[in-house]
Amino acid sequence: MGGASSRDQQSSTSPFFDQKELQGLRSAYEEGGLEKAASLIQKKIKDLEGIELNIAVTGESGTGKSSFINAIRGLQNVDEGAAKVGNIETTMEPTPYRHPTLPNVCFWDLPGVGTAKFTADKYLAKMNFKKYVFFIIIIHARFKENDAKLAGEIKRLGKDFYLVRSKIDNDLDSMKMGGMKFNEEEELGKIRDDCVSKLKEAGLSSPAIFLISSFKINQFDFPALQETIANNLNDIKKHAFMLSLPNTTVKIIDQKKNALKSKIWMLATISGAVGLVPIPGLSFSCDIGILVTAIIQFRQYLGLDDASLQRLANIARKPVGDLKAVVKTPLVGEINQDFVVRMLMGSVFVGISVAEAVFDFIPVFGSLFGAASSFGITYKLLNNVLDELTENAQRVVEAAFGTAPKH
């Protein structure tokens, strides 16, 4: 990775608000009460859901750009919406490929640098450099002069880039088919050292290189690449990027859970401001619409909707029935107002008779709300829903890849 760090100053207590925004929330609450503050939080949620991530993927023809773009979106090359795969340069203009469930996350397949149409010295200007939050440069057999020039120019202009050595499984398989006996870790180390050596010769100091297979995205350096990218984004962009990743490791699921958990106090605050309509049969009020929408979104982000399960089954080369068989929660069924009311009337998800929640950590408002308020009920239910969905998503990963969930 090279270039300037993309992380901005955020509040440690609320990762989506900087200090100035938190002060604005306090002022809004002091001037107009909870309703005015909640309107600012609602705008922040809308901004989070609308954040655009444009990610550039470049490299010469045959390096595996298209397969990588498909893999990081959780698609196979034959799936609807997949990037076209070929060994000749099929991309002559920047081509967008949107995420199947988060369309604001978009990977752009760029023409290979150094083609007759796109010489290295004019490449970034023609590619609309400023659009992209970072670049991924895909190489295979050799790191060439044009790749080095591109990396240097990206670094000079202050953007992040990631160097990816693709098709690593092909290299290992060729050695096995040739009858060679070798230690896989040692061989990967040799390949990595060779790449780093050539990158240094090309003028890149202390380069990091990620060895990946786009067909084994839970192996080699693919998970490390995803984590490194996420950690170099500010909290808002990291939120969008993490939620877009396919569920190939337990760690990704845990990070998604943490990202979604950071939104719960925001949703609960809005519920506390507008959830004033009593629910028949219950002694408290709650905004059912907020709960319905949040549960459906959480389920999709954690990969438990039918379409996500099918895509993961395709990646893992397992029958989708095997993955669905380990899902043990009613939260994968139809989620509507009646379903949520039934949850609220029970004690499985909410446990409202026990005022165990402590809300004094909440930015701006402190312990303004009680455990039996609309805020408290929303907060408690969504946390329990998130725990339930996370446990099931972990079991799905274990069924798909044989990875034991982390407890």
Among 24-33, 102-111, 243-252, 272-281, the range scoring the smallest mean pLDDT is: 272-281
* pLDDT given at position 278: 55
Both 81 and 105 in one domain: the answer is yes
| Nearest C-alpha neighbor of 262 from the set 287, 236, 241 | 236
| Residue with more model confidence, 96 or 32 | 96
Q: Count the domains in the chain.
A: 2
Q: Is residue 5 part of a domain?
A: no
Q: Are residues 114 and 161 in the same domain?
A: yes
Residues 204 and 263 in one domain: no
Task: Please indicate, yes or no, whether residues 59 and 208 belong to a single structural domain of this protein.
Answer: yes
**More reliable by pLDDT, 74 or 198:** 74
- In this structure, the answer to whether residues 278 and 394 fall within a common structural domain is yes
Residue 357 pLDDT: 44
> Does 6 fall in a domain?
no
Query: In this structure, is residue 7 part of a structural domain?
Result: no
φ/ψ of residue 77, rounded to 5: -65, -20
Residues 184 and 309 in one domain: no
Which tops the pLDDT comparison, 106 or 356? 106
Task: Provide the residue type at 283 as one letter.
Answer: S
Backbone angles phi, psi at 115, to 5 degrees: -70, 170
Tell me how many helices (H) and strands (E) the chain has.
Answer: 14, 6
More confident residue, 277 or 394: 394
Query: Does residue 206 sit within a domain?
Result: yes
**Confidence label for 269 from pLDDT (cuts 50, 70 and 90):** confident
Confidence of residue 312 (pLDDT cuts 50, 70, 90): very high
- Does residue 296 surpass a pLDDT of 90? yes
Tell me which residue of 64, 90, 88 sits closest to 77, measured CA to CA.
64
pLDDT of residue 216: 93
pLDDT for the residue numbered 406: 45
Tokens standing for residue 318:
């397992």
pLDDT band for position 385 (cuts 50, 70, 90): very high
Q: Residue 162 has which token pair?
A: 């990631």
Residue closest to 165 by CA, chosen among 189, 139, 147, 185:
139
CB 145 within 8 A of CB 202: yes
Question: Would 61 be classed as within a structural domain?
Answer: yes
Phi, psi of 109 (to 5 degrees): -85, 110
> Are residues 46 and 155 both part of a single domain?
no
What confidence tier does 15 reach under pLDDT thresholds 50, 70, 90? confident
170 and 105 share a domain? yes
Listed range (65-69, 73-77, 176-180, 297-301) with the worst mean pLDDT: 176-180
Q: Show the tokens assigned to 172.
A: 């290992």
Instruction: Please indicate, yes or no, whether residues 73 and 217 belong to a single structural domain of this protein.
Output: yes
Task: List 137's β-bridge partners, or say none.
Answer: 58, 163
CB 209 within 8 A of CB 220: no
Domain boundary among 238, 263, 284: 238
Dump pLDDT digits (tens) for 117-171. Answer: 666 667 777 888 889 999 999 998 777 777 777 888 888 888 899 999 999 999 8
Residue 298 amino acid letter: F
Which domain does 333 fall in, by range? 19-50+247-401
Tokens of 8: 């901005």
In a domain, 12, yes or no: no
For 121-173, where are the E strands, in sequence order? Answer: 134-139, 160-165
Q: Is the pLDDT of residue 400 over 80?
A: yes
Cβ-contact 102, 243 below 8 angstroms = yes
Average pLDDT over residues 38-50: 91
| pLDDT at site 140 | 85
Three-state SS for 169-200 is: HHHHHHHHHCCCCCCHHHHHHHHHHHHHHHHH
Least confident segment among 234-238, 259-263, 346-350, 387-391: 346-350
- Reported as a single tens digit per residue, the pLDDT across 194-214 is 888 877 887 777 778 999 999
User: Would you place residue 98 in the very low, low, confident or very high pLDDT band (cuts 50, 70, 90)?
Assistant: very high
Environment class of 130 (CB within 10 Å of its CB; exposed 0-12, middle 13-18, buried 19+): exposed
| CA 323/CA 327 separation, integer angstroms | 7
Do 118 and 219 belong together in one domain?
Answer: yes
Is 11 part of a structural domain of the chain?
Answer: no
Report the pLDDT averaged over residues 253-275.
87
Do 385 and 343 share a domain, yes or no? yes
pLDDT of 405: 43
Q: What is the DSSP string of 249-282?
A: SHHHHHHHHHHHHHHHHHHHHHHHHH--SBPTT-
Under a CB-based contact definition with an 8 Å cutoff, are residues 74 and 107 in contact?
Answer: no
Last residue of a domain, one of 203, 238, 273: 238
Query: Do 257 and 214 share a domain, yes or no?
Result: no
pLDDT at res. 228: 95
CATH code of the domain containing 127? 3.40.50.300
- The CB density around residue 297, as the number of other CB atoms within 10 Å, is 16
Reading the block at residue 51, the tokens are 């954040």
Q: Residue 10: inside a domain, yes or no?
A: no
CA distance 58 to 144: 13
How far apart (Å, rounded) are the C-alpha atoms in residues 60 and 68?
Answer: 13
- Dihedral-angle region of residue 167 (phi above 0 means left; psi in -120 to 50 means alpha; beta otherwise): left
**Strand-pair partners of 108:** 56, 96
What pLDDT is recorded for position 65? 93
pTM reported for the whole predicted model: 0.86
**pLDDT tens string 300-311:** 999 999 999 999
- The predicted model gives 91-107 an average pLDDT of 91
The DSSP secondary structure of 305-348, one letter per residue, reads SHHHHHHHHHHHT--HHHHHTT---GGGS---HHHHHHHHHSSS
DSSP state of 33: H
Among 182, 210, 238, where does a domain finish? 238
